Amino acid sequence: MLTAQRPAQWQRRADRGWHPTRMVVGGFAGAVVVGTGLLSLPLATESGRQAHLVDALFTATSAVCVTGLVTVDTGSYWSWFGEAVILLLIQAGGLGIMTLATLFTVLLSQRLGVRAKFLAQAETKALDLAGLRRLVRNIVLFSLVSEAVAAAVLTARLALAYDEPFGQALYHGVFHAISAFNNAGFSPYPDNLMRFVTDPLVSVTVCAAIIIGGLGFPVVFELLREWRKPRGWSVLTRITLAVTGALLALGTVVFTLVEWANPRTFGALGPDDRWLAGFFASAQTRTAGFNSVDIGAMRPESLLASDVLMFIGGGSAGTAGGIKVTTFGLLALVIWAEMRGDQHVNVGYRRAPTANHRQALSVALLGVGAVVAATFTMLSVTRFELDVVLFEVVSAFGTVGLSTGITARLPIPADLALVALMFLGRLGPLTFATALALRDRRRRFAYPEERTIVG
């Protein structure tokens, strides 16, 4: 009898080894290790000296997790080889390690096994396995086309309006297009994008790439197919568009009004340029991380608003981080339904299942816990004030990359804490927890129900 049971036990153990979410975590960890090794080579730095291991690890994690936080200046510290490595890590992290692996499997073998399908499903958040090969292909093609369009616009602008040599303009255009679409926020310019604060073409192009990449591939593809039939949009698309639009508009108004008279940020700009800078700042908190003004000079109200927006993040299955706008929107609808006394949470002509409520609550609370724990750790090992530490922590968790300027001055323990937080923020608290759980636990019984006092 023991002999008959042993193969089944071995099969269950083997299944645990390739659990989709665990493989996604392993894939991203492997990319970080490879990136750290490449950036540790003397060839990767301008000076020709080997980079400090913590700087290489921090930069590789920030690139793979499409964050944008840096401990050293990207343009002056890293060589062309180092910047190329960073760019490849951003692209790989944006598309997803498992998505790329699935694409390579398709190209090499023209067959897609069951395990490969599950891996791609875990990374792309596909709701079913049908047509997954076409889905992965469309994701890659859409990403490359979007980046190419943004790169073309930026290259032309830099060459014609800023007199950059064509080769340099092309490099900067491609670099910023990939960084923007993947919501990374890396820039080879020492002042990031502050020199373009009054340039609507550069600002809007970068913001458009950020927003499109941050919406999430399921939403983008559904809009391309069903843009004329909004009544047939899915719950995911409805929530993503509504919350994204609302937060972008709210952030633009808040940043513009709060910083309107601040001479160190928007105060020196014209009225139209102030609104442009406000919109740019609002778009960056969707987890992109570029800045057109000095973040460290912003008022405390703007930093707090940024904390909230960065924590929420962008769309599911996209290049953005945070707890995602779907999580925030679904929790808001749950609260609204509870206040109205409704038994169900309805979105348009659809009803959100109870399992989604629990998932949204779990993601939000795990995110809060991660931010609180990291903030406490950072305060313990640094002497910075709470507002700037919290900003840095939320920026890392939301894979945003915005900074008040303290990243390069943090001690090694704080850098390592941010590395862990960026990794957690990119994969998602629930995905990370599921990867460690190995399998779902199902009980064949239920305890008697008993209500408790809430509030």
User: Does 426 map to a domain?
Assistant: yes
Residue 135 confidence (pLDDT): 75
Partners of 346 in the β-ladder: 351
User: Does 448 map to a domain?
Assistant: no
Angle between helices 80-95 and 20-39 (to 10 degrees): 170
Which distant-in-sequence residues (6+ apart) come within 8 Å of 411 by Cβ? 381, 382
Residue 47 confidence (pLDDT): 92
User: Does 393 map to a domain?
Assistant: yes
The two tokens of residue 19 are 């659990």
User: Does 315 map to a domain?
Assistant: yes
Contact 138, 221 (CB under 8 A): yes
As a whole number of Å, the end-to-end CA separation of the chain is 53
User: Does 2 map to a domain?
Assistant: no
Residue 180 confidence (pLDDT): 94
Which amino acid appears at position 110 of this protein? Q
Partners of 345 in the β-ladder: 352
C-alpha to C-alpha distance for 143 and 91, rounded to whole angstroms? 9
Determine the 3-state secondary structure of 346 from DSSP: strand
Number of structural domains in the chain: 1
| Alpha carbon 10 to chain centroid, angstroms | 37
User: Does 95 map to a domain?
Assistant: yes
Mean pLDDT, contiguous 10-residue spans, the chain (455 residues): 43 51 80 95 94 95 92 92 95 76 52 57 57 76 94 96 95 95 92 94 95 87 84 86 95 96 94 96 90 94 95 85 90 90 82 82 90 94 93 94 91 93 82 54 74 76
C-alpha to C-alpha distance for 363 and 349, rounded to whole angstroms? 25
User: Does 447 map to a domain?
Assistant: no
Domain around 149: 18-437
Q: Tell me the residue length of the chain.
A: 455
C-alpha to C-alpha distance for 172 and 157, rounded to whole angstroms? 11
Which amino acid appears at position 197 of this protein? V
| Backbone phi, psi, residue 78, to 5° | -90, 145
Contact 69, 396 (CB under 8 A): yes
Partners of 347 in the β-ladder: 350
C-alpha to C-alpha distance for 133 and 305, rounded to whole angstroms? 40
Contact 322, 294 (CB under 8 A): no
CB atoms < 10 A from the CB of 367, how many? 25
C-alpha to C-alpha distance for 183 and 425, rounded to whole angstroms? 13
Contact 401, 62 (CB under 8 A): yes
Contact 402, 310 (CB under 8 A): yes
Contact 301, 258 (CB under 8 A): yes
Determine the 3-state secondary structure of 189 from DSSP: coil
User: Does 11 map to a domain?
Assistant: no
The two tokens of residue 95 are 């598309």
Matching residue, tokens 């929530």: 239
Determine the 3-state secondary structure of 298 from DSSP: coil
